[in-house]
Structure 1
Amino acid sequence: MQPLGLIDIGGTSIKFAVWDGQALKAHHALPTPTTKAAFFELVTHEVAEMKQQWPLVGVAISSPGAVNKLTGVVEGASAIPYIHNFPIQSELAEKFGLPVSMENDANCAALAELASGAGKDVDSLVFLVIGTGVGGSVIFNHHIWHGAHLFGGEFGFMLMNDQGTLSELGTAPAAVNRYLKANPTAKKLSGKDLFDLAAQGDAAATKEVDTLYHALALGIYNLQYSFDPEKVVIGGAISNNPQLIPGIEREIEKIRAQVKIASIKPNVVTCQYHDEANLRGAVVDFEQTYDRV
Protein backbone atom coordinates (compact mmCIF):
# COMPACT_ATOMS: atom_id res chain seq x y z
CA MET A 1 0.00 0.00 0.00
CA GLN A 2 1.18 3.53 -0.76
CA PRO A 3 1.91 5.88 2.17
CA LEU A 4 -0.90 7.04 4.45
CA GLY A 5 -0.92 10.02 6.76
CA LEU A 6 -2.12 9.06 10.24
CA ILE A 7 -3.71 11.16 13.00
CA ASP A 8 -4.75 10.00 16.47
CA ILE A 9 -6.82 12.69 18.20
CA GLY A 10 -6.54 12.61 21.99
CA GLY A 11 -7.73 14.83 24.81
CA THR A 12 -4.23 16.03 25.76
CA SER A 13 -2.20 15.35 22.62
CA ILE A 14 -2.58 14.52 18.94
CA LYS A 15 -0.29 11.87 17.48
CA PHE A 16 0.89 12.02 13.89
CA ALA A 17 2.68 9.43 11.77
CA VAL A 18 3.05 8.06 8.26
CA TRP A 19 2.36 4.43 7.40
CA ASP A 20 4.69 3.21 4.66
CA GLY A 21 3.04 -0.19 4.30
CA GLN A 22 5.26 -1.84 6.90
CA ALA A 23 5.81 0.48 9.84
CA LEU A 24 5.07 3.86 11.38
CA LYS A 25 7.37 6.66 10.28
CA ALA A 26 7.85 10.19 11.67
CA HIS A 27 5.81 9.30 14.74
CA HIS A 28 5.38 12.34 17.02
CA ALA A 29 2.81 14.07 19.21
CA LEU A 30 1.75 17.67 19.77
CA PRO A 31 -0.54 19.23 22.40
CA THR A 32 -4.23 19.18 21.51
CA PRO A 33 -5.41 22.70 20.61
CA THR A 34 -8.12 24.33 22.68
CA THR A 35 -10.15 25.69 19.75
CA LYS A 36 -11.58 24.31 16.53
CA ALA A 37 -9.71 26.88 14.41
CA ALA A 38 -6.39 26.01 16.01
CA PHE A 39 -7.12 22.31 15.57
CA PHE A 40 -7.74 22.69 11.83
CA GLU A 41 -4.63 24.84 11.48
CA LEU A 42 -2.46 22.26 13.27
CA VAL A 43 -3.63 19.13 11.46
CA THR A 44 -3.59 20.87 8.05
CA HIS A 45 -0.02 22.01 8.63
CA GLU A 46 1.09 18.54 9.76
CA VAL A 47 -0.47 16.82 6.76
CA ALA A 48 1.12 19.37 4.42
CA GLU A 49 4.50 18.53 5.98
CA MET A 50 3.86 14.82 5.40
CA LYS A 51 2.90 15.43 1.78
CA GLN A 52 6.24 17.13 1.14
CA GLN A 53 8.08 13.94 2.12
CA TRP A 54 5.73 11.13 1.08
CA PRO A 55 3.27 10.64 -1.80
CA LEU A 56 0.27 10.23 0.49
CA VAL A 57 -2.81 8.49 -0.88
CA GLY A 58 -5.00 9.52 2.05
CA VAL A 59 -5.26 10.34 5.73
CA ALA A 60 -6.55 7.88 8.34
CA ILE A 61 -7.85 9.31 11.62
CA SER A 62 -8.53 7.79 15.03
CA SER A 63 -10.93 9.94 17.04
CA PRO A 64 -12.74 9.95 20.37
CA GLY A 65 -16.53 9.97 20.30
CA ALA A 66 -19.12 8.06 18.32
CA VAL A 67 -17.92 8.33 14.72
CA ASN A 68 -20.80 7.96 12.28
CA LYS A 69 -19.26 6.21 9.28
CA LEU A 70 -22.22 7.12 7.06
CA THR A 71 -22.20 10.88 7.69
CA GLY A 72 -18.60 11.60 8.68
CA VAL A 73 -19.86 13.31 11.84
CA VAL A 74 -18.43 12.63 15.31
CA GLU A 75 -21.50 12.20 17.48
CA GLY A 76 -21.75 11.74 21.24
CA ALA A 77 -19.32 13.58 23.52
CA SER A 78 -15.62 13.59 24.41
CA ALA A 79 -12.94 15.70 26.06
CA ILE A 80 -12.71 17.70 22.80
CA PRO A 81 -16.16 19.29 22.31
CA TYR A 82 -15.25 21.19 19.13
CA ILE A 83 -14.82 18.05 16.99
CA HIS A 84 -18.46 17.02 17.43
CA ASN A 85 -21.69 17.42 15.48
CA PHE A 86 -20.55 18.80 12.14
CA PRO A 87 -19.23 17.08 8.96
CA ILE A 88 -15.62 17.02 10.15
CA GLN A 89 -14.51 14.22 7.82
CA SER A 90 -15.51 16.02 4.62
CA GLU A 91 -14.07 19.32 5.86
CA LEU A 92 -10.74 17.67 6.63
CA ALA A 93 -10.72 15.91 3.25
CA GLU A 94 -11.19 19.29 1.56
CA LYS A 95 -8.39 20.91 3.56
CA PHE A 96 -5.99 18.00 2.99
CA GLY A 97 -6.91 17.46 -0.65
CA LEU A 98 -6.95 13.73 0.09
CA PRO A 99 -9.42 10.95 0.96
CA VAL A 100 -9.99 10.77 4.71
CA SER A 101 -11.24 7.94 6.90
CA MET A 102 -12.33 8.33 10.53
CA GLU A 103 -13.12 5.77 13.21
CA ASN A 104 -13.53 5.72 16.99
CA ASP A 105 -10.23 5.26 18.84
CA ALA A 106 -11.25 2.06 20.68
CA ASN A 107 -12.46 0.58 17.39
CA CYS A 108 -9.14 1.49 15.79
CA ALA A 109 -7.23 -0.22 18.59
CA ALA A 110 -9.36 -3.34 18.11
CA LEU A 111 -8.70 -3.34 14.36
CA ALA A 112 -4.95 -3.09 15.03
CA GLU A 113 -5.07 -6.14 17.30
CA LEU A 114 -7.16 -8.01 14.73
CA ALA A 115 -4.85 -7.21 11.83
CA SER A 116 -1.47 -8.08 13.31
CA GLY A 117 -1.68 -8.15 17.10
CA ALA A 118 -3.25 -10.36 19.75
CA GLY A 119 -6.23 -11.18 17.51
CA LYS A 120 -4.44 -11.75 14.22
CA ASP A 121 -5.52 -15.40 14.03
CA VAL A 122 -9.28 -14.84 14.46
CA ASP A 123 -12.25 -13.43 12.56
CA SER A 124 -14.19 -12.20 15.59
CA LEU A 125 -13.20 -10.69 18.90
CA VAL A 126 -14.35 -8.51 21.76
CA PHE A 127 -11.89 -5.80 22.75
CA LEU A 128 -12.14 -4.20 26.20
CA VAL A 129 -10.32 -0.98 26.96
CA ILE A 130 -10.04 -0.63 30.73
CA GLY A 131 -9.08 2.79 32.07
CA THR A 132 -11.07 5.14 34.27
CA GLY A 133 -14.09 3.45 32.66
CA VAL A 134 -14.60 0.49 30.37
CA GLY A 135 -15.09 0.89 26.64
CA GLY A 136 -14.18 -1.22 23.69
CA SER A 137 -15.27 -2.80 20.47
CA VAL A 138 -17.01 -5.79 18.93
CA ILE A 139 -15.65 -7.24 15.69
CA PHE A 140 -17.42 -9.77 13.46
CA ASN A 141 -15.92 -11.05 10.22
CA HIS A 142 -13.07 -8.53 10.48
CA HIS A 143 -15.43 -5.55 10.67
CA ILE A 144 -16.55 -3.34 13.54
CA TRP A 145 -20.09 -3.82 14.84
CA HIS A 146 -21.12 -0.22 15.50
CA GLY A 147 -24.66 -0.96 16.69
CA ALA A 148 -27.94 0.74 15.91
CA HIS A 149 -27.04 3.82 18.00
CA LEU A 150 -23.23 3.70 17.62
CA PHE A 151 -23.01 2.19 21.11
CA GLY A 152 -21.43 -1.11 20.10
CA GLY A 153 -18.61 -1.80 22.55
CA GLU A 154 -19.80 0.49 25.35
CA PHE A 155 -19.38 -2.35 27.82
CA GLY A 156 -18.95 -0.03 30.79
CA PHE A 157 -22.72 0.58 30.92
CA MET A 158 -23.48 -3.08 31.67
CA LEU A 159 -24.95 -3.60 35.13
CA MET A 160 -22.95 -6.12 37.14
CA ASN A 161 -25.29 -6.09 40.16
CA ASP A 162 -27.84 -3.82 41.80
CA GLN A 163 -25.11 -1.43 42.89
CA GLY A 164 -22.91 -0.77 39.91
CA THR A 165 -21.89 -0.92 36.28
CA LEU A 166 -18.78 -2.56 34.86
CA SER A 167 -17.08 0.85 34.79
CA GLU A 168 -17.90 1.35 38.46
CA LEU A 169 -16.76 -2.10 39.58
CA GLY A 170 -14.20 -3.34 37.07
CA THR A 171 -11.54 -0.62 36.89
CA ALA A 172 -8.48 0.12 39.00
CA PRO A 173 -9.44 3.75 39.78
CA ALA A 174 -12.85 2.58 41.02
CA ALA A 175 -11.22 -0.13 43.16
CA VAL A 176 -8.85 2.46 44.66
CA ASN A 177 -11.76 4.78 45.44
CA ARG A 178 -13.64 1.97 47.20
CA TYR A 179 -10.54 1.10 49.22
CA LEU A 180 -9.96 4.71 50.30
CA LYS A 181 -13.62 5.15 51.21
CA ALA A 182 -13.50 2.06 53.42
CA ASN A 183 -10.12 3.12 54.86
CA PRO A 184 -10.31 6.91 55.30
CA THR A 185 -6.97 7.09 57.12
CA ALA A 186 -5.09 5.38 54.30
CA LYS A 187 -2.78 7.50 52.15
CA LYS A 188 -3.55 8.05 48.51
CA LEU A 189 -2.42 5.23 46.25
CA SER A 190 -2.36 4.14 42.61
CA GLY A 191 -3.96 1.10 41.06
CA LYS A 192 -0.56 -0.62 41.09
CA ASP A 193 -0.20 0.18 44.79
CA LEU A 194 -3.57 -1.44 45.47
CA PHE A 195 -2.62 -4.63 43.62
CA ASP A 196 0.69 -4.70 45.50
CA LEU A 197 -1.12 -4.38 48.84
CA ALA A 198 -3.41 -7.24 47.88
CA ALA A 199 -0.41 -9.38 46.94
CA GLN A 200 1.07 -8.63 50.37
CA GLY A 201 -2.06 -9.92 52.08
CA ASP A 202 -3.89 -6.68 52.89
CA ALA A 203 -7.47 -7.90 53.41
CA ALA A 204 -9.18 -4.65 52.41
CA ALA A 205 -7.10 -4.35 49.24
CA THR A 206 -7.71 -8.01 48.40
CA LYS A 207 -11.46 -7.46 48.71
CA GLU A 208 -11.46 -4.59 46.21
CA VAL A 209 -9.12 -6.34 43.76
CA ASP A 210 -11.32 -9.44 43.90
CA THR A 211 -14.37 -7.25 43.20
CA LEU A 212 -12.57 -5.92 40.13
CA TYR A 213 -11.67 -9.41 38.92
CA HIS A 214 -15.19 -10.70 39.46
CA ALA A 215 -16.82 -7.79 37.63
CA LEU A 216 -14.52 -8.21 34.63
CA ALA A 217 -14.98 -11.98 34.65
CA LEU A 218 -18.76 -11.66 34.78
CA GLY A 219 -18.77 -9.11 31.98
CA ILE A 220 -16.50 -11.28 29.83
CA TYR A 221 -18.56 -14.39 30.56
CA ASN A 222 -21.75 -12.57 29.52
CA LEU A 223 -20.12 -11.22 26.36
CA GLN A 224 -18.84 -14.70 25.48
CA TYR A 225 -22.31 -16.17 25.72
CA SER A 226 -23.94 -13.19 23.98
CA PHE A 227 -21.61 -12.73 21.00
CA ASP A 228 -19.43 -15.89 21.19
CA PRO A 229 -16.19 -14.24 19.99
CA GLU A 230 -13.08 -16.29 19.30
CA LYS A 231 -11.02 -14.09 21.60
CA VAL A 232 -11.45 -11.45 24.27
CA VAL A 233 -8.59 -8.93 24.14
CA ILE A 234 -7.94 -6.53 27.02
CA GLY A 235 -6.27 -3.17 26.55
CA GLY A 236 -5.60 -0.14 28.70
CA ALA A 237 -2.84 0.41 31.27
CA ILE A 238 -4.13 -2.42 33.46
CA SER A 239 -3.27 -4.89 30.69
CA ASN A 240 0.40 -4.50 31.73
CA ASN A 241 -0.36 -6.12 35.09
CA PRO A 242 0.77 -9.80 34.97
CA GLN A 243 -1.79 -10.63 37.68
CA LEU A 244 -4.74 -9.51 35.57
CA ILE A 245 -5.44 -12.49 33.31
CA PRO A 246 -4.92 -15.14 36.05
CA GLY A 247 -7.21 -13.17 38.36
CA ILE A 248 -9.95 -12.91 35.74
CA GLU A 249 -9.62 -16.58 34.78
CA ARG A 250 -10.00 -17.68 38.42
CA GLU A 251 -13.30 -15.78 38.63
CA ILE A 252 -14.47 -17.13 35.28
CA GLU A 253 -13.93 -20.68 36.54
CA LYS A 254 -16.10 -19.91 39.57
CA ILE A 255 -18.88 -18.68 37.28
CA ARG A 256 -18.57 -21.72 35.04
CA ALA A 257 -18.78 -23.98 38.08
CA GLN A 258 -21.98 -22.22 39.07
CA VAL A 259 -23.47 -22.48 35.56
CA LYS A 260 -22.58 -26.10 34.88
CA ILE A 261 -24.02 -26.09 31.37
CA ALA A 262 -21.50 -23.41 30.35
CA SER A 263 -19.02 -25.46 28.32
CA ILE A 264 -17.07 -22.62 26.68
CA LYS A 265 -14.16 -21.00 28.46
CA PRO A 266 -13.50 -17.50 27.13
CA ASN A 267 -10.07 -17.09 25.54
CA VAL A 268 -8.86 -13.95 27.33
CA VAL A 269 -5.55 -12.30 26.34
CA THR A 270 -3.90 -8.92 26.72
CA CYS A 271 -3.30 -6.60 23.79
CA GLN A 272 -0.05 -6.50 21.84
CA TYR A 273 -0.10 -2.85 20.80
CA HIS A 274 -0.31 0.02 23.23
CA ASP A 275 0.71 3.54 22.16
CA GLU A 276 0.69 2.58 18.47
CA ALA A 277 -2.67 0.77 18.48
CA ASN A 278 -4.92 3.66 17.43
CA LEU A 279 -2.63 4.71 14.58
CA ARG A 280 -2.20 1.16 13.29
CA GLY A 281 -5.92 0.52 13.49
CA ALA A 282 -6.67 3.71 11.57
CA VAL A 283 -4.71 2.18 8.68
CA VAL A 284 -6.97 -0.89 8.72
CA ASP A 285 -10.06 1.32 8.81
CA PHE A 286 -8.84 3.32 5.81
CA GLU A 287 -8.26 0.11 3.86
CA GLN A 288 -11.77 -1.10 4.71
CA THR A 289 -13.37 2.26 4.01
CA TYR A 290 -11.85 2.58 0.56
CA ASP A 291 -11.53 -1.16 -0.22
CA ARG A 292 -7.74 -0.97 -0.41
CA VAL A 293 -5.43 -3.76 0.70
Structure 2
Amino acid sequence: MNILVIDVGGTFIKYAWMNENAQILDRGKVPTPLDCLDSFLEILENLWNLKKADGIALSMPGMIDGDRGFMYTGGALKYIRNLEMITILQKYFPVPVALQNDAKCAALAEVWKGNLSDCENGVVLVCGTGIGGAIVYKGEILQGEHFMAGEFSYIQTVMNDMEFDLEYSAACQCGAKSLTKLVADSYGISLEEAEKNYTGESLFKRAEGGEERAIHAIRLFTRRLAILISNLQFIFDPQKFLIGGGISIQPLFLKFVKDELKKIRERNLEELPLPEIEACKFYNDANLLGALYWWKKQQKDSY
Protein backbone atom coordinates (compact mmCIF):
# COMPACT_ATOMS: atom_id res chain seq x y z
CA MET A 1 0.00 0.00 0.00
CA ASN A 2 1.26 3.44 -1.00
CA ILE A 3 0.20 6.49 1.08
CA LEU A 4 0.84 10.12 0.16
CA VAL A 5 1.84 11.74 3.46
CA ILE A 6 1.98 15.54 3.69
CA ASP A 7 3.43 17.74 6.44
CA VAL A 8 2.22 21.33 6.07
CA GLY A 9 4.50 23.87 7.72
CA GLY A 10 4.51 27.65 7.75
CA THR A 11 7.33 27.81 5.18
CA PHE A 12 7.38 24.47 3.35
CA ILE A 13 5.09 21.56 2.62
CA LYS A 14 7.09 18.35 3.00
CA TYR A 15 5.66 15.28 1.34
CA ALA A 16 6.50 11.62 0.97
CA TRP A 17 5.07 8.45 -0.46
CA MET A 18 5.29 5.86 2.30
CA ASN A 19 4.25 2.26 2.80
CA GLU A 20 2.29 1.11 5.84
CA ASN A 21 5.48 0.33 7.75
CA ALA A 22 6.64 3.97 7.41
CA GLN A 23 9.30 3.27 4.80
CA ILE A 24 9.78 6.40 2.69
CA LEU A 25 9.63 5.52 -1.01
CA ASP A 26 10.01 9.03 -2.43
CA ARG A 27 9.94 12.52 -0.98
CA GLY A 28 10.28 16.25 -1.61
CA LYS A 29 9.10 19.69 -0.52
CA VAL A 30 7.47 22.79 -1.99
CA PRO A 31 6.84 26.29 -0.58
CA THR A 32 3.68 26.64 1.48
CA PRO A 33 1.12 28.96 -0.16
CA LEU A 34 -0.05 31.62 2.27
CA ASP A 35 -2.46 33.45 -0.03
CA CYS A 36 -5.60 31.34 -0.38
CA LEU A 37 -7.16 27.89 -0.07
CA ASP A 38 -7.27 27.39 -3.86
CA SER A 39 -3.47 27.68 -4.03
CA PHE A 40 -3.15 25.10 -1.26
CA LEU A 41 -5.51 22.68 -2.99
CA GLU A 42 -3.67 23.16 -6.28
CA ILE A 43 -0.42 21.99 -4.67
CA LEU A 44 -2.13 18.90 -3.28
CA GLU A 45 -3.58 18.16 -6.73
CA ASN A 46 -0.12 18.50 -8.28
CA LEU A 47 1.33 16.04 -5.76
CA TRP A 48 -1.51 13.61 -6.42
CA ASN A 49 -0.89 13.83 -10.17
CA LEU A 50 2.81 13.12 -9.70
CA LYS A 51 2.03 9.71 -8.25
CA LYS A 52 -1.31 8.25 -7.27
CA ALA A 53 -1.69 6.67 -3.83
CA ASP A 54 -4.05 4.46 -1.84
CA GLY A 55 -4.63 7.18 0.73
CA ILE A 56 -3.63 10.68 1.83
CA ALA A 57 -2.45 11.59 5.35
CA LEU A 58 -1.89 15.19 6.41
CA SER A 59 -0.17 16.86 9.33
CA MET A 60 -1.53 20.41 9.61
CA PRO A 61 -1.09 23.40 11.93
CA GLY A 62 -3.99 24.69 14.00
CA MET A 63 -6.80 23.39 16.18
CA ILE A 64 -8.23 20.29 14.52
CA ASP A 65 -10.90 17.71 15.20
CA GLY A 66 -8.96 14.82 13.72
CA ASP A 67 -11.80 12.30 13.92
CA ARG A 68 -14.17 14.56 12.01
CA GLY A 69 -11.52 16.18 9.80
CA PHE A 70 -12.66 19.67 10.80
CA MET A 71 -10.17 22.55 11.06
CA TYR A 72 -11.12 25.33 13.47
CA THR A 73 -7.90 27.22 12.73
CA GLY A 74 -4.91 26.71 10.42
CA GLY A 75 -2.01 28.32 12.23
CA ALA A 76 -0.01 30.35 9.68
CA LEU A 77 -2.59 29.42 7.02
CA LYS A 78 -4.98 32.26 7.77
CA TYR A 79 -7.36 31.21 5.00
CA ILE A 80 -8.24 28.08 6.98
CA ARG A 81 -10.90 28.73 9.59
CA ASN A 82 -13.90 26.56 10.46
CA LEU A 83 -13.52 24.29 7.42
CA GLU A 84 -14.74 20.74 6.87
CA MET A 85 -11.33 19.98 5.38
CA ILE A 86 -11.84 16.24 4.88
CA THR A 87 -15.11 16.87 3.04
CA ILE A 88 -13.36 19.38 0.79
CA LEU A 89 -10.40 17.09 0.08
CA GLN A 90 -12.54 14.08 -0.71
CA LYS A 91 -14.12 16.02 -3.57
CA TYR A 92 -10.66 16.08 -5.16
CA PHE A 93 -9.21 12.70 -4.17
CA PRO A 94 -11.05 9.34 -4.46
CA VAL A 95 -9.14 7.70 -1.59
CA PRO A 96 -9.36 7.75 2.22
CA VAL A 97 -8.01 11.02 3.67
CA ALA A 98 -7.06 11.73 7.29
CA LEU A 99 -5.58 14.78 8.98
CA GLN A 100 -4.35 15.73 12.43
CA ASN A 101 -2.61 18.60 14.21
CA ASP A 102 1.14 18.71 13.58
CA ALA A 103 2.30 18.56 17.21
CA LYS A 104 -0.07 15.68 17.85
CA CYS A 105 1.40 13.94 14.81
CA ALA A 106 4.88 14.35 16.30
CA ALA A 107 3.62 12.70 19.49
CA LEU A 108 1.92 9.91 17.56
CA ALA A 109 5.22 9.12 15.85
CA GLU A 110 6.80 8.67 19.29
CA VAL A 111 3.89 6.51 20.48
CA TRP A 112 4.11 4.31 17.38
CA LYS A 113 7.82 3.82 16.87
CA GLY A 114 9.63 6.20 19.20
CA ASN A 115 10.42 7.04 22.79
CA LEU A 116 6.84 6.80 24.06
CA SER A 117 6.25 3.29 22.68
CA ASP A 118 6.91 1.89 26.17
CA CYS A 119 4.71 4.46 27.99
CA GLU A 120 1.01 4.78 28.58
CA ASN A 121 1.16 8.42 29.69
CA GLY A 122 3.49 11.10 28.40
CA VAL A 123 3.82 14.73 27.37
CA VAL A 124 5.54 15.93 24.20
CA LEU A 125 6.78 19.51 23.84
CA VAL A 126 7.91 20.70 20.42
CA CYS A 127 10.18 23.75 20.62
CA GLY A 128 9.89 25.99 17.60
CA THR A 129 8.45 29.43 16.96
CA GLY A 130 6.14 28.65 19.86
CA ILE A 131 5.69 25.59 22.06
CA GLY A 132 3.64 22.93 20.36
CA GLY A 133 2.68 19.89 22.30
CA ALA A 134 0.56 16.87 22.92
CA ILE A 135 -0.62 14.83 25.88
CA VAL A 136 -0.65 11.05 25.62
CA TYR A 137 -3.04 9.27 27.98
CA LYS A 138 -3.35 5.48 27.98
CA GLY A 139 -1.48 5.37 24.69
CA GLU A 140 -3.88 7.75 22.94
CA ILE A 141 -3.64 11.45 22.10
CA LEU A 142 -5.75 13.55 24.46
CA GLN A 143 -7.53 16.03 22.21
CA GLY A 144 -9.70 17.87 24.74
CA GLU A 145 -13.28 19.03 24.59
CA HIS A 146 -12.37 21.88 22.20
CA PHE A 147 -9.24 20.23 20.69
CA MET A 148 -7.00 22.60 22.66
CA ALA A 149 -5.21 19.98 24.78
CA GLY A 150 -1.47 20.40 24.28
CA GLU A 151 -1.66 24.01 23.07
CA PHE A 152 1.00 24.95 25.60
CA SER A 153 1.91 28.14 23.73
CA TYR A 154 -1.04 29.95 25.31
CA ILE A 155 -0.11 29.21 28.92
CA GLN A 156 0.58 32.43 30.82
CA THR A 157 3.93 32.55 32.59
CA VAL A 158 3.23 35.60 34.76
CA MET A 159 0.46 35.86 37.34
CA ASN A 160 -0.20 39.32 38.74
CA ASP A 161 -2.74 42.10 38.26
CA MET A 162 -1.90 42.63 34.60
CA GLU A 163 -4.35 41.72 31.85
CA PHE A 164 -3.82 38.66 29.65
CA ASP A 165 -0.85 39.40 27.39
CA LEU A 166 0.62 36.99 24.82
CA GLU A 167 4.02 38.60 25.49
CA TYR A 168 4.02 36.59 28.71
CA SER A 169 2.77 33.38 27.14
CA ALA A 170 4.87 30.22 26.90
CA ALA A 171 5.16 30.81 23.15
CA CYS A 172 6.89 34.14 23.68
CA GLN A 173 8.89 33.14 26.74
CA CYS A 174 9.99 29.65 25.59
CA GLY A 175 9.90 29.95 21.80
CA ALA A 176 12.72 30.64 19.34
CA LYS A 177 12.37 34.43 19.47
CA SER A 178 12.80 34.34 23.23
CA LEU A 179 16.19 32.63 22.87
CA THR A 180 17.23 35.20 20.26
CA LYS A 181 16.34 38.04 22.63
CA LEU A 182 18.26 36.40 25.50
CA VAL A 183 21.29 36.07 23.23
CA ALA A 184 21.02 39.72 22.17
CA ASP A 185 20.81 40.84 25.81
CA SER A 186 23.69 38.59 26.88
CA TYR A 187 26.02 39.85 24.14
CA GLY A 188 24.74 43.42 24.07
CA ILE A 189 23.90 43.24 20.36
CA SER A 190 20.83 43.87 18.21
CA LEU A 191 18.14 41.26 17.66
CA GLU A 192 19.04 41.25 13.98
CA GLU A 193 22.69 40.43 14.66
CA ALA A 194 21.75 37.79 17.22
CA GLU A 195 19.37 36.13 14.77
CA LYS A 196 21.96 36.16 11.99
CA ASN A 197 25.11 35.09 13.82
CA TYR A 198 24.33 33.65 17.25
CA THR A 199 21.49 31.16 16.93
CA GLY A 200 21.15 27.48 16.24
CA GLU A 201 24.23 25.34 15.89
CA SER A 202 26.65 28.27 16.13
CA LEU A 203 25.30 29.32 19.54
CA PHE A 204 25.71 25.84 21.01
CA LYS A 205 29.22 25.54 19.58
CA ARG A 206 30.11 28.75 21.41
CA ALA A 207 28.61 27.37 24.64
CA GLU A 208 30.39 24.03 24.27
CA GLY A 209 33.62 25.98 23.80
CA GLY A 210 33.08 27.64 27.19
CA GLU A 211 31.85 31.03 26.00
CA GLU A 212 30.13 32.40 29.10
CA ARG A 213 27.65 34.71 27.39
CA ALA A 214 26.37 31.86 25.21
CA ILE A 215 26.07 29.60 28.26
CA HIS A 216 24.22 32.34 30.16
CA ALA A 217 21.63 32.83 27.38
CA ILE A 218 20.99 29.10 27.00
CA ARG A 219 20.74 28.69 30.80
CA LEU A 220 18.07 31.37 31.07
CA PHE A 221 16.16 29.89 28.16
CA THR A 222 16.22 26.34 29.53
CA ARG A 223 15.22 27.64 32.97
CA ARG A 224 12.01 29.00 31.48
CA LEU A 225 11.33 25.69 29.77
CA ALA A 226 12.11 23.79 32.98
CA ILE A 227 9.53 25.89 34.88
CA LEU A 228 6.94 25.06 32.21
CA ILE A 229 7.77 21.34 32.44
CA SER A 230 7.59 21.46 36.24
CA ASN A 231 4.14 23.08 36.05
CA LEU A 232 2.94 20.47 33.57
CA GLN A 233 4.22 17.70 35.81
CA PHE A 234 1.99 18.93 38.63
CA ILE A 235 -1.00 18.91 36.27
CA PHE A 236 -0.46 15.64 34.37
CA ASP A 237 2.31 13.76 36.23
CA PRO A 238 3.26 11.69 33.16
CA GLN A 239 5.75 8.84 33.01
CA LYS A 240 7.94 10.81 30.65
CA PHE A 241 8.40 14.18 28.95
CA LEU A 242 9.80 14.27 25.42
CA ILE A 243 11.24 17.42 23.88
CA GLY A 244 11.27 17.83 20.11
CA GLY A 245 12.09 20.48 17.56
CA GLY A 246 15.45 21.28 16.01
CA ILE A 247 16.97 22.54 19.25
CA SER A 248 16.42 19.18 20.96
CA ILE A 249 19.19 17.68 18.81
CA GLN A 250 21.71 19.60 20.94
CA PRO A 251 22.92 17.43 23.87
CA LEU A 252 23.81 20.56 25.88
CA PHE A 253 20.25 21.81 25.60
CA LEU A 254 18.82 18.66 27.17
CA LYS A 255 21.50 18.68 29.88
CA PHE A 256 20.69 22.27 30.84
CA VAL A 257 16.94 21.54 31.00
CA LYS A 258 17.61 18.66 33.40
CA ASP A 259 20.01 20.84 35.44
CA GLU A 260 17.38 23.57 35.80
CA LEU A 261 14.68 21.09 36.80
CA LYS A 262 17.00 19.74 39.49
CA LYS A 263 17.52 23.28 40.81
CA ILE A 264 13.75 23.77 40.99
CA ARG A 265 13.39 20.61 43.04
CA GLU A 266 16.21 21.66 45.39
CA ARG A 267 14.21 24.74 46.38
CA ASN A 268 11.87 23.26 49.02
CA LEU A 269 10.70 20.46 46.71
CA GLU A 270 13.48 17.93 47.25
CA GLU A 271 11.10 15.15 48.32
CA LEU A 272 9.27 15.24 44.96
CA PRO A 273 10.43 13.10 42.03
CA LEU A 274 12.20 14.67 39.10
CA PRO A 275 10.37 14.30 35.79
CA GLU A 276 11.95 11.93 33.29
CA ILE A 277 13.14 13.93 30.27
CA GLU A 278 14.25 12.64 26.87
CA ALA A 279 14.62 14.03 23.38
CA CYS A 280 12.17 12.86 20.76
CA LYS A 281 13.48 10.02 18.63
CA PHE A 282 12.25 11.56 15.40
CA TYR A 283 13.11 15.03 14.21
CA ASN A 284 12.36 16.22 10.67
CA ASP A 285 10.23 13.18 9.78
CA ALA A 286 8.17 13.05 13.00
CA ASN A 287 5.09 14.72 11.54
CA LEU A 288 5.15 12.47 8.48
CA LEU A 289 5.32 9.31 10.60
CA GLY A 290 2.63 10.53 12.96
CA ALA A 291 0.29 11.52 10.13
CA LEU A 292 0.70 8.07 8.60
CA TYR A 293 -0.03 6.42 11.95
CA TRP A 294 -3.16 8.56 12.38
CA TRP A 295 -4.31 7.60 8.87
CA LYS A 296 -3.85 3.90 9.71
CA LYS A 297 -5.81 4.30 12.95
CA GLN A 298 -8.64 6.12 11.17
CA GLN A 299 -8.97 3.35 8.60
CA LYS A 300 -8.95 0.69 11.31
CA ASP A 301 -11.56 2.56 13.36
CA SER A 302 -13.84 3.01 10.34
CA TYR A 303 -14.45 -0.74 10.03
The answer to whether residue 82 in structure 2 is matched with residue 111 in structure 1 is: no
1:112–1:152 distance in 2 versus 1, CA, 3 Å: same
Relative to the length of structure 1, the TM-score reads: 0.88
Relative to the length of structure 2, the TM-score reads: 0.85
CA drift at 1:248:
1.0
* Structure 2 CA distance for aligned equivalents of residues 213 and 228 of structure 1: 20
1:32 is aligned to: 32
2:182 is aligned to: 178
* Structure 2 CA distance for aligned equivalents of residues 149 and 8 of structure 1: 23
1:42 is aligned to: 43
1:134 is aligned to: 131
CA drift at 1:238:
0.6
Gaps of 5+ in 2: 160-166
Deviations 1:243-263 (A, max 9, x none): 011111111111222243643
2:164 is aligned to: none
Aligned positions of 1:144-159 closer than 5 A: 144-159=141-156
Pick aligned residue for 2:275 from 246, 263, 266? 266
Question: Contact 2:60–2:74 at 8 Å: present in 1 too?
Answer: no
Question: Which SS does the other structure have where 1:118 is aligned?
Answer: coil
Question: Contact 1:5–1:19 at 8 Å: present in 2 too?
Answer: yes
CA RMSD of superposed structures (Å):
2.4
CA drift at 1:232:
0.8
CA drift at 1:13:
2.0
Deviations 1:129-180 (A, max 9, x none): 1012211111112221112222211212223345833333334431221332
The percentage of aligned residue pairs carrying the same residue is 30
1:183–1:45 distance in 2 versus 1, CA, 3 Å: closer
Aligned positions of 1:101-250 closer than 5 A: 101-162=98-159, 164-181=168-185, 183-185=187-189, 187-188=193-194, 189-250=198-259
Question: Contact 2:174–2:221 at 8 Å: present in 1 too?
Answer: yes
CA drift at 1:64:
0.9
* Structure 1 CA distance for aligned equivalents of residues 19 and 187 of structure 2: 52
Question: Which SS does the other structure have where 2:64 is aligned?
Answer: strand
Question: Which segment drifts farther, 63-72 or 137-146?
Answer: 63-72
CA drift at 1:197:
4.3
1:252 is aligned to: 261
Question: Which SS does the other structure have where 2:91 is aligned?
Answer: helix
CA drift at 1:104:
0.5
Deviations 1:89-122 (A, max 9, x none): 1110221011211100111011001110122211
1:160–1:211 distance in 2 versus 1, CA, 3 Å: farther
Give the aligned length: 288
* Structure 2 CA distance for aligned equivalents of residues 181 and 159 of structure 1: 22
1:200–1:161 distance in 2 versus 1, CA, 3 Å: farther
